[in-house]
Each structure stands twice: as structure tokens, then as C-alpha cells.
Amino acid sequence: MAPAVSLGTLFMACQFADLLWPTLVMLGLEIVEIDPGNTLVTPLNFVKYPYSHSLVMLLVWSMVFALCYFAIRRGRAGAITVGVLVFSHYILDVITHRPDMPVTIDGETRLGMGLWNYPGTTLATESAMFIIGATMYASVTRERDRIGKLGLSALVATLVAIYFAALWGPPPPNSQSVAIAGHLSWLFVLWAYWVDRHRQPRVRRR
């Protein structure tokens, strides 16, 4: 739909809620607790995160993100794509989380289908989505140089390694360390921008 949008922007859009969240946890505006077994996949209890993860706020962030993209880049397909990606975080988190996803900022209603209580299904679903996404990006772009090729391979390998480390590793010691580690997600946004600068959209032949 929008092959010109940088992989870095795509990462920032789909992860926007999770990029905002560690900062809000540090500021004390949102609350997370360590609770091994909260779901079988994550040891985190998301006590309160209405600004980063409510349906209402993700609609707002989605529009803000799309408008900012349009103001800077002027592409309509790109703006719609990144806007939809920002909101897709809500849908995917509702599918995976236990019922802890707020609908409004201060309402009591919380949604969640708890896919994370089924590790096998989680692993199959998330792996399939990752493989489809990585394949799609690799097939609609091609490398300009060696960095475009090796940088992408290294990015994919690191994401896979971190995924399994989080799945099978020990729970984090406290919520502050979760917030600090959460900020490291920005490094992957930068990494994706860097890789994308060394790749270009593949011209489709008819």
C-alpha cells in the first residue's frame, strides 16, 4: 500500500503505545507491577495505562500520528497506513492481553481475550505474523548496498533473539527496570530507519 514509508516510521507507528508507555510509567502516570504468571507469556501486571493503551487514546494517537506524517511527508497512502498501524496496537493487545485493556481514560471497562495464556498458540501466531511481515518488507524493498542487506538480517536476528529471551528469561526485578528497558525499543526504531536508508522500494514489473 505504501512502500515509500520508512521501516523506522512503521516500527514507530505500530509500537507507538509501547514507546510512550515506559516514559509514562517512569513519570508515575501509568502503573505496571511484576507478577510472574499474570499470563503464561508475560510476568507483567498492567495495572493502569489509560494514556498509552486505551481505545479512546489510541484513536487520538492514531489521528495525531497520521496528521504529523501527512504534514511532514505529504503522502496520503502513507498517512492512512501509519494511522491504521497506531490503532492496530489496540486490537492486537486486546487479543493477547488478559482483560486489562481500558476502553476510556477513567472508565472501568477493560477488554482482553488472553491469547498469552496459550503459549503454543501465541508462539505460532506471533511467529507467523513476524515471518509474514519480515518477508513482505524484504520483498517490496531491495538493498542499495551491503548495509541494506546485512543490517536487515542483523535486525531480524536480534528481534528473534530478544523475543525468545523475553519469553523464556527470568522476570524483571522491578517496574523501574521494565520502564528503563522499555525505552530501549527506540533503538530498534533508529535501527530500522538506518536499514531503510540503505534499501529502496522495488519497482514492480508488469
Q: Contact positions toward Zn ion, by CB under 5 A?
A: 17-18, 93
Q: What would the 3-class secondary structure string for 1-62 be?
A: CCCCCCHHHHHHHHCHHHHHHHHHHHCCCCEEEECCCCCCCCCEEEEECHHHHCHHHHHHHH
Q: Which is nearer to Zn ion, 17 or 192 (CB)?
A: 17
To Zn ion, the closest distance from the beta carbon of 52 in angstroms equals 7
Q: Which is nearer to Zn ion, 95 or 138 (CB)?
A: 95
To Zn ion, the closest distance from the beta carbon of 111 in angstroms equals 13
To Zn ion, the closest distance from the beta carbon of 140 in angstroms equals 26
3-class SS at 156? Answer: helix
Spatial CB neighbours of 45, under 8 Å, sequence gap ≥ 6: 32, 33, 34, 35, 38, 100
To Zn ion, the closest distance from the beta carbon of 143 in angstroms equals 31
Spatial CB neighbours of 118, under 8 Å, sequence gap ≥ 6: 40
Q: Which is nearer to Zn ion, 18 or 35 (CB)?
A: 18
Residue 184: DSSP 8-state:
T
Q: Which is nearer to Zn ion, 30 or 93 (CB)?
A: 93
To Zn ion, the closest distance from the beta carbon of 53 in angstroms equals 6
Q: Which is nearer to Zn ion, 102 or 151 (CB)?
A: 102
Other Cβ atoms less than 10 A from the Cβ of 171: the count is: 14
3-class SS at 108? Answer: coil
3-class SS at 148? Answer: helix
To Zn ion, the closest distance from the beta carbon of 146 in angstroms equals 34
Which helix (H) or strand (E) segment is 129 a member of? helix 119-140
Q: Which is nearer to Zn ion, 26 or 140 (CB)?
A: 26
